[in-house]
Structure 1
Amino acid sequence: MNITQEKTGNLNAVVKIKIAPADYTEKVDKAIKEQAKKAQLPGFRKGMVPPSHIKRMYGKSILVEEVNNLLNDTLTNYIAEQKLEILGQPLPQMDDSKNFKWDNTDDFEFDYELGLVPAFDVNISSKDKFTQYVIKADKETLESRIKNIRRSYGKMTNPEVSAADDVLYADLTQLSPDGSVFEGGIASTATIRLDQIKDQEILKSLIGLKKDNEVTIDIQKALEDAALIAKALNIPEEDAAELKSNFKLVVKNVNRLEESDLNQEFFDKLFGEGTVTNEAGFRAKITEEVEGMFKQDAERQLSNDIYEQLLQKHNFELPDEFLRRWLKATNEKLTDEELAEGYDDFAKNLKWTLIENKIIKDNSIEIKYEDVVQAAKAKLDAQFRMYSPSPLPEDQLAQYAVQFLQEKENANRTFEEVKALKTFEQIKSIVTLEEKEIDYDKFIALDKK
C-alpha cells in the first residue's frame, strides 16, 4: 500500500491511496469464509456452503465492502498519524477514467480531498476592552414580576363583571360574512385570556361583560397567533392560520385570579420560614431575583460583543470552496440558493469554533462531567424558578439533571454550553472589562441599534 499527500493550496490537500491485491486479498478471503459459515442456501446445510460458491455469488460485493473498509481505516489512521487538522470530512475525488474490474486483480488508486484548518494565533490582551453592563430593575418590570408572583399564589374567584386581566369562559360560534351563524361552521367552548388579546378595540369590547353577554370578534385580530387560535377553536394550527371569519362570543363565566396578600404566610411559602418578614424585604428579594435575570442578559451581551470583536481581530481564511462542496455532499436536500444564503453565517460560526478550540487547547482547559451536571442543574433550576422562586430540593434537582442528560442531544448541547462558558471566562480573565450601570429599557435599545 502506498499513501502520499499533495498540497493543492494553502488550505487544501489531496491524499492518494494506492492499494494492490496483496493489501486486500487476505481480508477478502477471510470475509468470504466467514460468510460461508453463516450462509443458508438451498441445497447446502448451514455452515457447509463452499467458499468458492460464496465467492462466485457474492465475491464482487464482498470485495467492494472490504476495499471500502480498508480505505476508511487507512485514511483515518493516516490523518491521525500525520496529525492533520482537517475541516469536515475527506471528499473522494471522482475519476471516470479509472475503470476497475473488481475481480481481485485490480491495483486501486483513490484520491481524497482535504480541507485543512488554518494556522493562526489567538491574540488577546488587556488592551482589548469591553463594556460589562450592570442592568438595574425598572419600576414597570419589577411591578410586573411582583404581580405575577402574587397571582401565582392567589385564589380563583368569579366576579360578576370582566376586567382587563380576567379569563372568559365562553362559547365561540363562527359567523357568515352577513353576520348570521355559519351553518356547519366552527363552534367551540374555550377559555379566553384577556391579557392575550392583541387588538385594543377588541380588548375594550371584552371588558365589562357579564354572564350571557355576547359580542362579535375578529379572532385573527384578537389573538394574532395561530397556536392560540387553534387551541381556542380546537382546530389544526394550519387551518387556524388561514381562518378569516368573525365569531360570536357568549360569556358563560368570568374567572379572576386574585393576587395573594402580602402577609407572613405568603412570604414563608416563597422564601422559607422567617427569611422575609415584611413588604420591604419581599421587594428587595424580588429586585435581587429580577436583576439576577438581567445579569444573564448582560452576560449574553458581553459574550456577543467579545464574539464579534475577536472575529474581526482574527480574520483568517478558510478553504471555502472545499467547505461548500462538503456541505453539498453531506446535505443532499441543500439547494444552491440555501447554500449561498447560509454559507457566510456557517463560516463565521466555524471560525469562532476554531478560535474557541485554540483557547481551550492553549490554556489546557478541561471540561469535566461534573461541570456538565452543574450546568444542567442550573438550567433546570432557572426553568423551575420561572414558576416559583422557591428552589427545588438539591437531591430532586440532581435527579432531574441526570434524567435530562440521558438524552444525547441535551448532553451534547449542555457540553457545548459549558465549553463556551469556560472559553468566555478565560477571555474575561485577560481582557479589560469596564462596568457601566444602565436602565433596562436603555439596555434593550442596544440590540436595536
Structure 2
Amino acid sequence: MNITQEKTGNLNAVVKIKIAPADYTGKVEKAIKDQAKKAQLPGFRKGMVPAAHIKKMYGKSILVEEVNNLLNDTLSNYIAEQKLEILGQPLPKMDDEREFKWDNTDDFEFDYELGLAPAFDVNVSSKDKFTEYVVKADKETLESRIKNIRRSYGKMTNPEVSADDDVLYAELTQVGADGAAVEGGITSTATIRLDQVKDKKILKSLIGLKKDDEVTIDIQKALEDAAVISKALNISEDEAAELKANFKLHVKNVNRLEESDLNQEFFDKLFGEGVVTDEAGFKAKITEEVESMFKQDAERKLSNDIYEALLVKHNFELPDEFLRRWLKATNEKLTDEELAEGYDDFAKNLKWTLIENKIIKDNSIEIKYEDVVQAAKAKLDAQFRMYSPSPLPEDQLAQYAVQFLQDKENANRVFEEVKALKTFEQIKSIVTLEQKDIDYDKFMALVEKK
C-alpha cells in the first residue's frame, strides 16, 4: 500500500491511496469464510456453505466492502499520524477514466480532497477593551414582575363586570358583514386574555362586559398573533394567519386572578420560612432576582461583543470552495440558493469554533463531567424558576440533571455551552473590562440597535 499527499493550495490537499491485491486479498478471503459460516442457503446446512459458493455469489460485493473499509481505516490513520487538522470530511475525487474489474486482481488508486484548517495564533491582550454593563431594574419592570408573582399566588374570582387584565370565557361565532352567523363558519369556546388584545379600540369594547353580553370583533386586529388565534379558534396556525373574519363574542363568564396579599404566608411560600418578613425585604428580593436576569442579558451582550471583535481581529482564510462542495455533498437537499445565502454565517461560526478550540488547547482548559452536570442543573433550575421562585431541593435538581443528560443531544448541547463559557471566561481574564451602570430600557435600546 502506498499513500501520498500533494498540496494543491494553501489550505487544500489531495491524498492518493494506492492499494495492491496483497493489501486486500487476505481480508476478502477472511470475510468470505466468515460469511460462509453464517450463511443459510437452500440445499446447504447452516455453516456448511462452501466458501467458493459464497465467493461466486457475493464475492464482488464483499470485495467492494473490504476495499472501502481498508480505504477508510487507511485515510483516518494517515490523517491522525500526520496530525492534519482538516475541516469537514475528505471528499473522494471522481475519475471517469479509471475503471476497475473488481476481480481480486486490481491495483486500486483513490484520491481524496482535504480542506485544511488554517494555522493562526490567538492575539488577545489587556489592550483589548470591552464594556461590561451593569443593568439596573427600572420601576416599571419591577412593578410588572411583582404583579405577576402576586397573581401567580392569588385566587380566581368571577366579577360581574370585566376590567383590564381579566379573562373572558366566551363563545366565538364567525359572522358575516350583516352580523349573522356564517353557514359552515368557525365556532369555538375559548378563554380570551384581555392583556393579549392589541387593538386599543377593541380592548375598550371588551371592558365593562357582563355575563351573556355580546360584541363583534375583528379577530386579526384583536389578537394579531397567529398562535393565539389558532388556540382560541381551534384551527391550525397557517389557517389562523390567513383568516380575515369578524366573530361574535358571547360572554359566558368573567374570570379575574386577584393578587395575593403581601403577608407572611405569601413571603414564606416564595422564599422559605422567615427569609423575608416585610414588603421592603420582598421588593429587595424581587429586585435581586430581576437584576440577576438582566445580568445574564448583559453577559450575553459582552460575549457577543467579544465574539464580533475577535472575528474581525482574526480574519484568516478558509478553504471556501472545498467547504461549499463538502456542504453540498453531505446535504443532498441543500440548494445552490440556500448554500449561497447561508455560507457566510456557516464560515463565521466555523472561524469562531477554530478560535475557541485554539484558546482551549493553548490554555489547557479542561471540561469535566462535573462542569456539564452543574451547567445542566443551572439550566433546569432557571426553567423551574420561571414557574415558581421557590428553588427545587438540591437532590431532586441533581436527579433531573442526570436524566436530562442521558439524552445525547442534550448532553452535547450543554457540553458546547460549557466549552463556550470557559472560553469566554479565559478571554475576560485577559482583556480589560470597563464596568458601566445602565438602565434597562437604555440597555435594550443598545442591544436592539446592534
Give the superposition deviation at 1:273: 1.0
Give the SS at the match of 2:448: coil
Q: Deviations over 1:167-220 (max 9, x none)?
A: 000001111243210112211111111111121111111111000000111111
Structure 2 unaligned residues grouped into runs of 5+ = none
Distance 2:403 2:166 in 1: 37
Distance 1:116 1:177 in 2: 67
The letter of the residue matching 1:390 is S
Moved more, 49-58 or 298-307: 49-58
Structure 2 partner of 1:382: 382
Give the superposition deviation at 1:35: 1.0
Distance 2:197 2:63 in 1: 68
Distance 1:267 1:423 in 2: 39
Asked whether the 8 Å contact 1:3–1:15 carries over to 2, the reply is: yes
Structure 1 unaligned residues grouped into runs of 5+ = none
The letter of the residue matching 1:312 is V
Structure 1 partner of 2:435: 435
Distance 2:127 2:281 in 1: 42
Give the SS at the match of 2:45: coil
Asked whether the 8 Å contact 1:128–1:431 carries over to 2, the reply is: yes
Structure 1 partner of 2:129: 129
Structure 2 partner of 1:271: 271
- Aligned ranges for residues 139-158 of structure 1 at < 5 Å? 139-158=139-158
1:418 aligns with 2:418: yes
The letter of the residue matching 1:95 is D
The letter of the residue matching 2:137 is A
Give the SS at the match of 1:74: helix
- Aligned ranges for residues 214-363 of structure 1 at < 5 Å? 214-363=214-363
Moved more, 212-221 or 229-238: 229-238
Distance 2:177 2:361 in 1: 68
Distance 1:59 1:221 in 2: 70
Give the superposition deviation at 1:237: 2.3
Structure 2 partner of 1:165: 165
The letter of the residue matching 1:144 is S
What is the aligned length?
449
Distance 1:404 1:194 in 2: 37
Distance 2:422 2:118 in 1: 23
1:109 aligns with 2:109: yes
- TM-score, normalised to structure 1, is 0.99
- TM-score, normalised to structure 2, is 0.99
Q: Identity of aligned pairs, percent?
A: 89
Distance 2:272 2:386 in 1: 17
The letter of the residue matching 2:195 is D
Structure 2 partner of 1:209: 209
Moved more, 30-39 or 11-20: 30-39
Give the SS at the match of 1:448: helix
Give the SS at the match of 1:100: coil
Distance 1:426 1:59 in 2: 57
Asked whether the 8 Å contact 1:177–1:245 carries over to 2, the reply is: no
Structure 1 partner of 2:44: 44
Give the SS at the match of 1:276: coil
Distance 1:400 1:201 in 2: 47
Give the superposition deviation at 1:162: 0.5
Q: Deviations over 1:313-368 (max 9, x none)?
A: 01100000000000000000101111111101100000000000000000000000
Give the superposition deviation at 1:101: 0.5
The letter of the residue matching 1:319 is P
Give the superposition deviation at 1:116: 0.5
Asked whether the 8 Å contact 1:172–1:187 carries over to 2, the reply is: yes
Distance 2:40 2:200 in 1: 76
